[in-house]
Amino acid sequence: MEFSIRSLAPQKAKAGCLVLGVHVAELGKAGRQADKAAQGALRRVLAQGDLAAKAGATLLLQRLPGLAAERVLLVGLGERKEFGLGALRDALRGAAQALREIGARDAAFYVADLAPPGLGLPAVLRHAVLGIRDVFYRFDQLKTQKKAPPPALATLTLALASGPVTLQAQAALKEAAATADGVDLARTLGNLPPNICSPAYLAEEARKLARQFSLGLQVLERKDMEKLGMGSLLSVAQGSRQPPKLVVLRYRGGPAKQRPLVLVGKGITFDTGGISLKPGAEMDEMKFDMSGAGSVLGALRALAGMRAPVNVVGIVAACENMPDGQATRPGDIVTTMSGQTVEILNTDAEGRLILCDALTYSARFDPAAVVDIATLTGACVIALGHVASGLFANDERLSDQIRAAGEEAWDRVWPMPVWEDYQEQLRSNFADMANIGGRPGGSITAACFLARFTPKLRWAHLDIAGTAWKSGREKGSTGRPVPLLVRLALRLASGRTGKA
Ligand code: BES
Ligand code: MN
Ligand code: ZN
């Protein structure tokens, strides 16, 4: 779908559909203009109470007199005094769903009336593009039958009833379209089945990005990892026929002297649990265990696509966690790249085992900050559900920046402690540490494990186990936290603080 911004009087817009926001029975500026041209037709409809009060409700009207557009889609914004970013997102999704169902080929969406207090037009444009692209995303390349027909809507004008289209607005549109491309990539990588999306496939995908956007690329193979002493990562990979890959993608958009943001993604392309085998129910969802890696590739695609003035290194640690005659046993002790030893008491706690070596490796890029992204623990889903990702950090300023980026992107996170007090749960009688800390605070002890490998780095960890995908009827990857990562990279490069 093509997006553009134009300044255009609503009554004159010759679109298949006009989209107008309505606070409980109260038209916005564009709506009032259209209503005047239609001699009060919109107000009469609203007076009948056919548009439900909640944000995201929609009502489709056909061929109103005085309007050039064929249809008008009214979209509810809820109560004006309750209107915020959450309601805006609901309204955008509602409108997008309605636009997907109707036959209009083009639409003019009057976005300026949708700005909640304190939110500028550029931010509304970003949310509009991301929300609409999210609803129009499809993954049906592996279906041969009963495919839904492609949506008719081909062009969408983000319209302003008055005033000029600013350079800032144009930049926001470009940024959002590139971010949506990154989200799409992350979603598709997540949705692909594990017999297609293998570690080699992720490396090939990185190669494609490197070619398309002239990024630096390095793919470390098993023998390279052996030389580096990545005994922990290799111990996870050894039970699989699929060779592990450690992918390093570099985007240099900022000044040469600017230290990079390093993003490290967990790329377990399938997690059976290994010898500590998982139960069968819903095990298929462990194809999404590479979502952290997918989000790193998605964020790089987004930042490179918008030519963001930032330096970012993406590291993808990719392998498969399988049971096998060669697989790691519970009780095995491995030596990590850092030199610390780990007693593997549960082979299903494999994410931290690959991330610890990738984090040690990340130090060579002299990072301004390192953020790892991982579907790390079921415990995080218990703690925060499917709304917020877990945020763990050893640096308060970085933590604040990430929180703020998450709020801005409506891709929210919530801080959790990484206190020393939890470390003792990782005690081992036979090695420097165990790879599990028992049931209490499971997502925290997982973060505490990682913290032992980042003492000299400004580091944060995002546990996206509850947010990277949806289960049930809507099963599929969400592409989170690509929107957050993009905002974070832009914020860090522009030097804003978390409180700003
Ligand atoms: N990939 C899983 C975490 C996970 C589980 C994410 C369910 C989303 C839904 C991870 O590798 C894992 O298996 N973690 C274990 C850790 C435990 C053995 C300490 C878990 O959460 O059960
Ligand atoms: Mn696991
Ligand atoms: Zn896992």
Give nearest CA residue, ligand 1 atom 7. 378
- 481-490: pLDDT as tens digits: 999 999 999 9
Co-location of 135 and 270 in the same domain: no
Tokens of 352: 């931290």
Q: Span 384-398, mean pLDDT?
A: 98
**Is-above-0.95 flag for pTM?**
yes
468: pLDDT strictly greater than 70: yes
Task: Say which ligand is closest to the CA of 378.
Answer: 1
User: Is 136 found in the same domain as 214?
Assistant: no
| Ligand 1 lining (C-beta closer than 6 Å) | 271, 289, 346, 348-351, 375-379, 381, 436, 442, 465
pLDDT at 473: 97
Task: Give the Å distance between the CA of 377 and the centre of ligand 1.
Answer: 4
Q: Are residues 234 and 146 in the same domain?
A: no
Backbone angles phi, psi at 16, to 5 degrees: -65, -25
Q: What ligand has the least distance to the C-alpha of 274? A: 2
Contact 453, 336 (CB under 8 A): yes
Please give the distance of CA 139 from its chain centroid, rounded to a whole number. 17
> Which atom of ligand 1 is least distant from the CA of 286?
1
Q: In terms of domains, do 294 and 357 share one?
A: yes
Per-residue pLDDT at 273: 98
- Give the residue from 158, 192, 219 where a domain finishes: 158
Residue 87 sits in a domain of what CATH number? 3.40.220.10
Q: What is the mean pLDDT of residues 123-145?
A: 97
SS (H, E, C) the chain: CEEEEEECCHHHCCCCEEEEEEECCEECHHHHHHHHHCCCHHHHHHHCCCCCCCCCCEEEEECCCCCCCCEEEEEEEECHHHCCHHHHHHHHHHHHHHHHHCCCCEEEEECHHHCCCCCCHHHHHHHHHHHHHHHHCCCCCCCCCCCCCCCCCCEEEEEECCCCCCHHHHHHHHHHHHHHHHHHHHHHHHHCCCCCCCHHHHHHHHHHHHHHHCCEEEEECHHHHHHHCCHHHHHHHCCCCCCCEEEEEEEECCCCCCCCEEEEEEEEEEECCCCCCCCCCCHHHHHHHHHHHHHHHHHHHHHHHCCCCCEEEEEEEEEEECCCCCCCCCCCEEECCCCCEEECCCCCCCHHHHHHHHHHHHHHHCCCEEEEEECCCHHHHHHHCCCCEEEEECCHHHHHHHHHHHHHHCCCEEECCCCHHHHHHHCCCCCCEECCCCCCCHHHHHHHHHHCCCCCCCEEEEECCCCCEECHHHCEECCCCHHHHHHHHHHHHHCCCCCC
Q: Which residue is associated with the tokens 């985007």?
A: 251
Looking at the structure, tell me whether residues 225 and 84 fall in a common domain. no
Pick the ligand that lies closest to the CA of residue 376: 1
* pLDDT given at position 495: 79
Q: One-letter amino acid identity for 492?
A: L
CB 111 within 8 A of CB 122: no
pLDDT for res 500: 40
pLDDT exceeds 50 at position 328: yes
Q: What is the CATH number of the domain that holds 208?
A: 3.40.630.10
Rg (CA), the chain: 24
Which pLDDT band holds residue 496 (cuts at 50, 70, 90)? low
Residue 356 shares a structural domain with residue 461: yes
Give domain status of residue 225, yes or no: yes
Going from the Cα of 200 to the center of ligand 1, the distance in angstroms, rounded, reads 23
- The residue among 128, 158, 188 that closes a domain is 158
- The alpha carbon of 268 is separated from its chain's Cα centroid by a whole number of angstroms, namely 17
Give the pLDDT band of residue 498 (cuts 50, 70, 90): very low
Residues β-bridged to residue 419: none
Cα dihedral sign, 289-463-185-146: positive
Q: Quote the ligand 2 centre to 142 CA distance (angstroms).
A: 27
Residues 341 and 488 in one domain: yes
Identify whether 119 is part of a domain: yes
pLDDT band at 274 (very low <50, low <70, confident <90, very high): very high
Beta-carbon contacts of residue 139 (< 8 Å; ≥ 6 apart)? 187, 188, 191, 476
Q: Computed from CA positions of residues 59, 63, 67, 68, in that sequence, does the dihedral angle turn out positive or negative?
A: positive
> Can you give the pLDDT at residue 388?
99
Position in ligand 1 atom list of the atom nearest CA 446: 19
- Whether 435 is in a domain gets the answer yes
Q: Whose CA is nearest to atom 5 of ligand 1?
A: 378
Tell which atom from ligand 1 comes closest to the C-alpha of 289.
1
Domain membership of residue 175 (yes or no) is no
Q: Which of 99, 124, 158 is the last residue of a domain?
A: 158
Are 156 and 2 in contact by the 8 Å Cβ rule? The answer is: yes
For residue 53, which phi and psi values (nearest 5 degrees)?
Answer: -75, -20
CA of 289 to the centre of ligand 3 (A): 5
Cβ neighbours for 50, distance < 8 A, ≥ 6 positions apart: 59
Q: Which residue segment(s) compose the domain that 68 sits in?
A: 2-158
Same-domain status, 250 and 125 = no
Among 271, 377, 471, which is best to mutate for testing ligand 1, by the most ligand atoms less than 8 A from CB?
A: 377
Nearest atom of ligand 1 to the alpha carbon of 445: 19
Residue 326 lies in a domain: yes
CA distances in angstroms from 6 to 3, 160, 258, 278, listed in the order given: 10, 6, 36, 53
Distance from Cα 107 to the centre of ligand 3, integer Å: 43
Which atom number of ligand 1 is nearest to the Cα of residue 273? Answer: 13
Same domain, 78 and 191: no
β-strand partners of 61:
72
Whether 170 maps to a domain, the answer reads: no
pLDDT surpasses 70 at 62:
yes
Give me the number of domains the chain comprises: 2
Pocket test for ligand 1, best of 236, 344, 348, 471 (most atoms within 8 A of CB): 348
Residue 165 placed within a domain:
no
Token pair, residue 317, equals: 């640690």
Separation of alpha carbons 151 and 155, rounded Å: 11
Q: Do 144 and 196 fall into the same domain?
A: no
What amino acid positions are annotated as catalytic residues?
A: 278, 352
The structure tokens 């008491």 sit at 345
Q: By alpha-carbon position, which residue is closest to atom 22 of ligand 1?
A: 378
- Residue 499 domain-assigned (yes or no): no
Residue 138 and residue 246 share a domain: no
pLDDT in tens, 66-88: 999 999 999 999 999 999 999 99
Task: Tell me: pLDDT of 497 over 90.
Answer: no
Find where tokens 């949806």 sit: 470
Contact 417, 406 (CB under 8 A): no
Give yes or no: residues 443 and 332 share one domain. Answer: yes
- Cα dihedral 345/347/348/354 (nearest 10): 110
Chain segment 338-354, per-residue pLDDT in tens: 999 999 999 999 999 99
Indicate which residue's Cα is closest to atom 8 of ligand 1. Answer: 465
Q: In angstroms, what is the span from residue 272 Cα to ligand 2's centroid?
A: 7
